[in-house]
Amino acid sequence: MDQTILIDENGKRTDGRSSDDLRDIKITIGVLKNADGSASIEFGKNKIMVAVYGPREVHPKHMALPDRCVLRCRYHMSPFSTDTRKNPAPSRREVEISKVMREALEPAIMLEDYPRAAIDVFVEVLQADGGSRCAGIAAASVALADAGVNMKDLVSACAAGKINDKIVLDINDIEDKEGSADMPVAYLPNLEQITLLQLDGILDESQFNECLEKAIHGCKMVYEIQRKALIEKYFGNDLPEGEEKELEENKEN
């Protein structure tokens, strides 16, 4: 059925990667001035910008929960993000991704710390190239950390899938369309919990296990990049001793 050659005789994929390679990932933090936290991610050819607002007052007020914070997510693809213009109105797919994204982020956030408040996460896809929900989740969790929301862990996300009967990491757009399975996974690397697992395609049990293992391995690689981006942004220049004592003393007062 697969007419396109997705893996050549040297084991290289259409963009020159081997089966265990991620695309190049670059995360920039604090790209939006007016948001409480923001991040932009370049995940291969994906370009995504995330803004986090909050915790802030809930409007409309009836949405507020008395015991915890409401997390609201919006995943949106810009009309110019795909080859043919995408209607800017939220599609069925976007509504679904917004929901799964919220559910992937919720377990990491300590929502009970902010009762009666709301945290808004806006994920805007500027350029799409397959795996944008994973890239969006990874960027959103970094933006949430940047906003100073209490979190049990960062959320990393990565997809794995099956192309030409071979399990590979980080499916891109062509592989998603021509390949036979795509499995996005979001993962809490320190708590070792899966917060998102979707599967589009058919895998047998051993393939499924291999695919999941590979995706989790990919998540851990993504985590290192997220971590590096955060450390670089906040601790770029080293603090010598004594200076941060001032900070501490004042906090105590």
Question: Which stretches of the chain bind another protein, using CB under 8 A?
Answer: 36-37, 54-57, 66, 108, 110, 114-117, 145-154, 188-191, 227, 230-231, 234-235, 237-241, 243-251, 253
User: Closest distance between another protein and the C-beta of residue 32, in Å?
Assistant: 14
Task: Please report, for residues 115, 119, 181, the alpha-carbon distance to residue 150 in angstroms, rounded to integers and kept in the order given.
Answer: 13, 11, 35
The β-bridge relationship of strands 200-201 and 117-127 is unpaired
Residue whose CB is less far from another protein, 95 or 191: 191
User: Closest distance between another protein and the C-beta of residue 140, in Å?
Assistant: 13
Residue whose CB is less far from another protein, 104 or 149: 149
Residue whose CB is less far from another protein, 192 or 205: 192
User: Closest distance between another protein and the C-beta of residue 144, in Å?
Assistant: 8
User: Closest distance between another protein and the C-beta of residue 112, in Å?
Assistant: 10
Burial of 235 by CB count in 10 Å (0-12 exposed, 13-18 middle, 19+ buried)?
A: exposed
Residue whose CB is less far from another protein, 62 or 245: 245
Burial of 238 by CB count in 10 Å (0-12 exposed, 13-18 middle, 19+ buried)?
A: exposed
CB 48 within 8 A of CB 139: yes
Residue whose CB is less far from another protein, 145 or 159: 145
Residue whose CB is less far from another protein, 89 or 239: 239
CB 125 within 8 A of CB 156: no
User: Closest distance between another protein and the C-beta of residue 186, in Å?
Assistant: 14
User: Closest distance between another protein and the C-beta of residue 96, in Å?
Assistant: 27
